[in-house]
Amino acid sequence: MSSPTWLEGVFPALVTPFERADESLDESAFRHLIQFCLPACDGLVTGGTTGEFHTLSRQERKRLVEIAVGEAEGKPVIAGSGASGTTEAIDIAIDAQDAGASALLVVTPYFLHPSDKGVYQHYSQIAARVDLPIILYNIPQVVDRVLPRPVVEDLADIDNVVAIKDSSGDLTYTMEILEFVGDRIQVLIGHDEVVLPALAGGAAGMILASAQIYPEVWQAVKQFVNEGNLTAARNAQRQVQKLSRIFCRHGGGVAVKAALNAMGVRVGRPRAPLKAVGGALSHENRAEIRLELEKIGKIEPKPSDFAYPSGDLADRFSDLNVDAEMIESHLMKVGSGQSGKDINQVQIDIIAGAKSGPLGDAYAVQMTYPIHGREALAAILEPALTIRPATLIMPSLPQRDLRQANMIYGPVQLAISRAIANALADGEITRDDVDNQVMIASVTVHPKALDRHDIYLSALDAATQALQMVTSAVVGDLRTQEVA
């Protein structure tokens, strides 16, 4: 049996929707999911890893195939037919054939690992019992075993073994398989992060969890590779690289279900014992998924009343119980800087004053009684190396999740510390300042900021600007300290 040409396409590894109340199959939601992604796909894959096959009964797996065949509008349906036992896998394969599947996706035996000979016999016995094309399935990150290349070589001689799906993400393995059996069976890439290099190396198509989220991107990548336009292919993949990474590394179907639900395609929660949040997928990753979906136009951005602080700089430190009159009377200095573009813009407002004055008291209060969600953190260059003058970094806005907080208590913290160290090295901050002053930096980062490196560069520039204002200001003179 020669490899079907239809395998040279984009196939979504569909999630399996479950009812919220009892975790039974949600057939209506599954149909809607198929209708949602089918137009941009070349076929469908049911009951795979993303489909949580390990939690499905034999009857449920067959039912998924039946529904998919009925909804596929003539496009091929690949049925996940793997099991740890050969007898069970044969039964599931026969069910899929009876349900109208176009091909079978059969995973390497898992849990108790057979010898190479046992792996070969597992596949060969399934192949002998069905007439459908069989796709071998290598996914060592969950099976805990690589499908050995010599076994793949031998299996490639079986008439109805037509392809291998490689989800390992190991391009060395992918290229070895292409080298030894690429002229006999097709190689399908199953790891979303490495689609472009796999296609460029000779892979024929793809079976991906993310193909139900952005199949049009993978269609474009494949077309660009076929045309030899690698620059366009790289640009296409890079726009979804972060989402692809999250899907691959944070629970496959768990993360994909979070994305689909955010897009309004209701597929429910994972089946126990997997958890949508607090387990396989953290709240921070869920927030990042949503932001990435906004970036590629899959969902509308949530309305936001976010704005960078503006107006009189002296009024921006009221949360510290410090006002303009106090700044002037106690010889404090203030400065502000803003740098970066769009959501990577950072604003930093700095106030400096004597340890023995009201700012020193405010410093101590923030260390002892921090404002919830805006907890102040000491500026450090590296662990156990606190910057001097002693400086606190304080978000101007409540941090809604750990992802937001990590932008400030991370790249911004380091950027401010480096800016202070640079000012000290350049003599802009004096030895007297080091010994007798404290500083507090109020930091504003866009709630949707994602790029840690860009945020660091923006914060470094903004902090440098603010420190230049502080160190060059006439003590207590606030007349020029107004920033729009």
Cβ 208 vs Cβ 105: under 8 Å = no
Residues 6+ apart with CB under 8 A from 231: none
- Residue 479 is predicted with a pLDDT of 37
Handedness of CA 470, 474, 475, 478 (dihedral sign): negative
Given the DSSP bridges, would you call strands 385-386 and 380-382 parallel, antiparallel or unpaired?
antiparallel
Catalytic entry in 62, 75, 123, 165: 165
- Residue 381 is predicted with a pLDDT of 84
Q: Is 165 a catalytic residue?
A: yes
Catalytic entry in 120, 137, 214, 363: 137
- Residue 240 is predicted with a pLDDT of 97
Residues in the chain: 484
DSSP state, residue 185: S
pTM over 0.85: no
**Residue 176 corresponds to which amino acid?**
E
Cis peptide before 309 (omega within 30 of 0): no
For 76, other C-beta atoms within 10 Å of its C-beta total: 20
Element (H, E) at 299: none
Cis peptide before 389 (omega within 30 of 0): yes
- Residue 475 is predicted with a pLDDT of 47
At 87-115, the pLDDT tens digits run 999 999 999 999 999 999 999 999 999 99
- Residue 284 is predicted with a pLDDT of 76
Q: Is 137 a catalytic residue?
A: yes
Q: What is the mean pLDDT of each run of 10 residues along the chain (484 residues)?
A: 86 96 95 97 97 95 98 97 96 98 97 95 97 97 94 97 97 98 97 97 97 97 97 97 92 89 94 72 82 91 82 90 91 95 94 94 92 89 84 91 82 94 92 92 91 93 96 55 40
